[in-house]
Structure 1
């Protein structure tokens, strides 16, 4: 026990002395406490919890034993910052709830306070030490939550990108003819994916004609038309011709009413008519005897 005879010993030094050499004990208690509070959480397997506890506990003690101000230890001590961030990102990828992730970090506070109560027998010093731990672990909880949100947002962005790519395949219809069938709304983000995939396919297939089929696009407004024209211009810059198919009567009427100028763009009512036009442009090249390539 560390008695009150420690006199005017700095509170932080008192905390360091109380926790020094107890990283394994801290990790053990933290793991047990987390398992008690969330025994069925699939994102918190005991092996993962043990790894996280060992990493964070050792980094925490190392950070305390520096000259950094308490309020800056979590964010400025590289080892501790990375340990907390790694824990949060791992939880985010595993799909653990954000509150559970922050509470897991804050549970470490209970463990440290328990150890301090066992080693400090002076009420005043114990209270001061507890305040220090509160400040330190509150900062760790805040960093954990912010990192978790950052990680989840990145996962959502990546999944959205993957869904966009899946929903905008580029199909090799014929020798030197590729097509992209569009279904649903065509917004800026999707236009960018369509353009990138289509231009890459034109380069890879040495295509002379790119068909953009909008049969599955429910409505065409000014924004959609602008997106289409941007894609057409990009295709032309690649040295290929572009045909837009799927111009139904209702869409043709809407385009006319909006005053959208598609006079310089080759359009056809159906994909079959667009393919026929592409054959004329390419000189009626014979089909390649293999299955279409979908990108």
Structure 2
């Protein structure tokens, strides 16, 4: 990457008031939805500018991975993380850097109007520098966004697999949606943890809300049942509808040894019976 001339650095520093004002005005115009206040924007601009000038004076502008650029990289990573949480897009986040080009270009152009070659060289150097900073901002944004999506998926999995205590010693796990390897792992961890916490003897897995059962889904169910048995508890699968029963038969799946019931009520009645309890109408 082309190096910035010391004279250009001095020029940029001496014109910082005009550059900052033009930069803030450009950012304010691009962000008028209230997600970032004018005060916040002003603080971010001035902090970045302080780090920016310091890094350019102390470091090689062609090597943004140097230690001298650590603070500015961390600043951009924090900025990207904050904007992800506020709902900004990647382009809106990168605009924070790219909108600085025009004010800097104007200053450099005025100072090198009589030297087209030097003008082109310095404009190219500043453009490359800001492009690299903008690229780092986008990468930080994407990384944070992926982390947020992953965390949301995990939270949704946990919410979609609640373990309910139906009675002393009886747990129920109503399942809704398709079973896959990741969800099965969450199911196992949640259910086994609750078995340990409550000392339950019976766990009912209700698949009424599972749209289809294929070989893969059946394998996941078998793994869950096996894990429950290893914890010293019994498992009952409820919600086996006629269509699911036919599918299991056609697929030749072996559910031998696993107790199944048509609905949750029948499974609960069986669980209570196994624990030595009976339900009867009052009076």
**TM-score normalised by the chain length of structure 2:** 0.88
Specify the SS of the correspondent of 1:71. coil
CA shift, 1:74, in A, is 6.1
Alignment correspondent of 1:48: 40
Deviations 1:41-90 (A, max 9, x none): 3333212212321222112112211233x232267511011111122221
Alignment correspondent of 1:35: 28
Q: Unaligned stretches of 5+ in structure 2?
A: none
Equivalent-residue separation in structure 2 for 1:164 and 1:19 (angstroms): 52
Specify the SS of the correspondent of 1:242. strand
Equivalent-residue separation in structure 1 for 2:222 and 2:212 (angstroms): 16
Alignment correspondent of 1:3: none
Equivalent-residue separation in structure 2 for 1:66 and 1:198 (angstroms): 57
Asked if residue 72 in structure 1 is aligned to residue 63 in structure 2, the reply is yes
Q: Unaligned stretches of 5+ in structure 1?
A: 1-9, 287-295
CA shift, 1:250, in A, is 1.6
Alignment partner for residue 104 of structure 1, among 96, 101, 114? 96
Asked if the contact 2:4/2:126 (under 8 Å) is kept, the reply is no
Matches for 1:1-295 after TM superposition, within 5 Å: 11-20=4-13, 26-36=19-29, 38-68=30-60, 70-73=61-64, 77-118=69-110, 122-123=114-115, 124-284=117-277
Alignment correspondent of 1:292: none
Equivalent-residue separation in structure 1 for 2:262 and 2:193 (angstroms): 26
Equivalent-residue separation in structure 2 for 1:274 and 1:25 (angstroms): 75
Asked if the contact 2:15/2:107 (under 8 Å) is kept, the reply is no
Asked if the contact 1:12/1:132 (under 8 Å) is kept, the reply is no
Equivalent-residue separation in structure 2 for 1:58 and 1:253 (angstroms): 70
CA shift, 1:244, in A, is 0.7
RMSD: 2.3
C-alpha change, 1:34 and 1:283, in structure 2 (3 Å) is same
Specify the SS of the correspondent of 1:219. coil
Equivalent-residue separation in structure 1 for 2:36 and 2:170 (angstroms): 51
C-alpha change, 1:75 and 1:32, in structure 2 (3 Å) is farther
C-alpha change, 1:241 and 1:75, in structure 2 (3 Å) is farther
Matched residue pairs, number?
Answer: 275
Equivalent-residue separation in structure 1 for 2:244 and 2:224 (angstroms): 18
C-alpha change, 1:234 and 1:54, in structure 2 (3 Å) is farther
Equivalent-residue separation in structure 2 for 1:122 and 1:89 (angstroms): 43
The range that moved more, 107-116 or 132-141, is 107-116
Alignment correspondent of 1:290: none
Equivalent-residue separation in structure 1 for 2:17 and 2:171 (angstroms): 61
